[in-house]
Structure 1
Amino acid sequence: FAFADSQQATTFGRLIEAFGRSGAVATCCSAAIIDGVVSGDYLIAYNVLGSYALARADENPDIVVVAPDDYTLVLARAALIPRRAAMPELAGEFIDFLISEPGRSALRSANLIVDTNESVHAAMRLPENPDVSLRPIPLSLALLVGLDQHKRREFVARWQAAFPKERDRESAD
């Protein structure tokens, strides 16, 4: 998400600089960040997977998932059937199920999709106009830019430079 976020906002550089100045911590994954919020170690979790956050919000009424007013990146779900799949017909039936109403209901129950046209999840705060502020990450060649080794190293170096090392945070405390 962070790489896609950097492509969406001209203010991304200032955002990570502000995170660094405030003592924010870059952690490996959504679950670890959300655990940090639940334990009280972190005040907010930014750029975490909504499905993880909503699942934890179901368990803990003190957690609320907020989609900011300016924009929120939304991960597109994709399903592919390999040309050499052992049972392509069965795979096709599974995809048909996923896009059917019972399948979409199962995905909603597991917090894997959120329909903004329906009653919104109780623990989620959407902006006034979600059609404008929710921005799907398109399944396009632009996704491959993040896989380019040079671009990836450059982005990761910039990201890591913005955040204090854990030992630096401990010595400041």
Structure 2
Amino acid sequence: MNWLWDLLIIVVLAAIVWVIIVYQRKRLLRLWNEVTKDEVAFYRQLEKVHRLFYEHLDLVKTEDNLECVRMVRRYRKKRIRSLLLNTRQDLYNSINLLYDEVDEHDEPEYIIMKEEYDNLQKIRRIYNSKVLIYNQTISVFPTRYLALRMNLELKEYFG
């Protein structure tokens, strides 16, 4: 009779471990899905802002920001997501410097550029915060092994 209780305890513990693994797996997949959606939204908005700044380069071009203008022109026909991370960040920084020129004006053509850039900043902050949570979650002891088995890798921050 004693061995029956031991067997029951082992079965219950195995069931508890299985439930925990299934819960953690669903949690990891949900986090990965959220980060991926935010990543797609961020890069779509970055491409939209890039296109908008490219269309209005004549409004923001000065002698001080010629290198930024060249950077925006150079990647006008490329998908931003396919570029290397440091190139994407350089392009983002160039747009950021061009935004300083836009921010000084209150004309109607600048208002759309300001709104889209502000929206990009909001999406970037949300994306980076989700990446932080995701990366911390898959780097901690019990979930790290499960994440490795699921082929989940760390996501990259942006800017």
Tell me if TM exceeds 0.5: no
Higher relative contact order (CA 8 A, sep 6+): 1
Instruction: Name the larger-Rg structure.
Output: 2
Decide which structure has greater strand share: 1
Decide which structure has greater helix share: 2
Task: Report the TM-score, using the length of structure 1 for normalisation.
Answer: 0.20
